[in-house]
Chain A
Amino acid sequence: MSIPDWVEPVARYMLTEGLVGTLKIAAFALAGSVLVGITLGTLLTIKFLPLRALIRMYIEVWRGLPILVTIFIIFFALPAVSLQLEFDAVTAAAVGLILWGSAQVAEATRGAVQSIPREQHEAASALGFGWVGRHTFVIMPQALRRLLPPLVSLLVNIIQNTTIAQVIGATELLESGERQVERLTAPPPIGLGEIHAFEIYAAVMVVFFLISFPLTRLAAYLEHRLV
């Protein structure tokens, strides 16, 4: 059994355009979620009620909304409020994922920071560190160890949720697959007039599985090892 001719260009397009797009959105979303999430999560440990209420609100809203709705709000509703808030599909998807992901990271960070013994705070203060220095150089390096397993799980979730960007037409793996399904369905000069949705969507699932499975194993291993 040989591989049909249509497979090669389809696979090349999906890997060079689609997969690259997926990884790009995922990279932005991960970096943003970690930065914003760790900052908010650390601030959440300060005993100042209005600040805590504000961050709580942020977490509950972006965790409560389906990511699709968040991305729709950024992509469709913000430009209706002000034209300066118009984003392209990739940015809108990345921002939506950052809002959701940072809420997850903030919650995990709060737990990790609070799990560091008080003596560490006291020792750092005694050495002359201020609040920022104490958290940056003493508390966070220790908390990161506990944060690592949830961060790897978050990465898996972010990679999988990048597919939601397909709905607003951002180029990522699922969207690239859909474009190829449509192209192949078109009559001969453009496509083949054949439907290959089954193979192509199955292939998309396989690619996501190959990326996610090692990462979920890694998360389980880290959880077992580090905690």
Chain B
Amino acid sequence: MIAVLSALDPSFLADVWAFVEKNSDELLAGLRRTLKVSAIAIVGAFFVGMILGAARAHRIPIVSQLAAVYVEVIRNTPILVQIFFLYFGLPQVGIRLEAFTVAWLAVIIWGGAFNTENFRAGFEAVPHRYREAGLALGFSRFKTFLNVTLPIGGRIALPSSINTYISVLKNTSLMYVISYPELTTTALQIQALTLETVETFTVLAVSYLVIVWTMSFLIRLLESHLALPEER
């Protein structure tokens, strides 16, 4: 309540603005790293999810079982522990990864597992007769997948995969624990130097809300644009 009241105070807004102007270089650099890691991870998670989701839906032997194990392990363990394992655990067995590498790798692995499930469900929801029609027209199994299952199943999977992408972006904030200087880490460094605590966290929270809300708004537009004809 006090926080809300002080936020309504015009001098507080001026303080926040002064804080942003003073630290804009660092904040923008942090924001850029957050967006860069998220973009890499979203593209990566899209391909991991599409390929493994297809393997799961078409029950391709061995690949499908391995993908199932991968999905269950990642979905049933906290991403923060996965980050700790990659960054602090692996060096013990001789695998040293840079903070940036762990940053994008961890969210690709995490997002890829959730996306595998999203795409599997999407592909399995494509009516059987569509695939049979594709095969009957002489398309190979692979061509049938590319021309029939992927465009239809991918769209069915779109809403749930969008939620995964937004979670991927939010999870990049966890890279704070490996000191990768994305938005959250940068903001906390500035806070430690300036002790302008309330200003720092106001800017940090507003930044994430603006990104997440813009992202879900733009993606919903895309979603209605890509909706299956019968659902429009």
Contacts and interface: CB of A to CB of B under 8 A. Distances in A.
Contact of A81 (B3, B85, B170, B205): B3
Given A66-B184, A167-B176, A160 B77 contact: yes
Contact of A209 (B3, B6, B76, B171): B76
Interface string A154-195: 001000111110110000001001100100000000000001
Contact of A204 (B72, B81, B205): B81
B198 A77 contact: yes
- Name the prevailing secondary structure of the A interface residues: helix
Point out which of B80, B88, B93, B213 has the most chain A C-beta atoms below 10 A from its C-beta: B80
A69 B92 contact: no
B190 interface: no
B73 interface: yes
B78 interface: yes
A166 B82 CA distance: 14
Interface string A67-102: 111001100111011100100000000000000000
- Name the prevailing secondary structure of the B interface residues: helix
A201 interface: yes
Interface size class of B (residues with CB under 8 A): 35 or more
Contact of B209 (A65, A196, A197): A65
Nearest to B188: A72
Given A65-B208, A202-B89, A209 B201 contact: no
Contacts of B64: none
Contacts of A213: 72, 76
Interface residues of A, number: 43
Point out which of B6, B73, B81, B173 has the most chain A C-beta atoms below 10 A from its C-beta: B81
Contacts of B82: 205
Nearest to B172: A66
A66 B76 contact: no
14 contacts: A64-B209, A64-B213, A67-B170, A68-B176, A69-B205, A76-B201, A77-B197, A166-B177, A174-B78, A174-B81, A177-B84, A201-B85, A208-B76, A208-B78
Given A66-B171, A66-B173, A212-B76, 11 more contacts: A69-B208, A78-B3, A81-B6, A81-B198, A85-B2, A166-B177, A195-B92, A204-B84, A208-B77, A209-B76, A216-B72
Report the 6 A-B pairs with minimum CB-CB distance, sorted nearest first. A212-B76, A80-B197, A66-B173, A160-B78, A77-B201, A66-B170
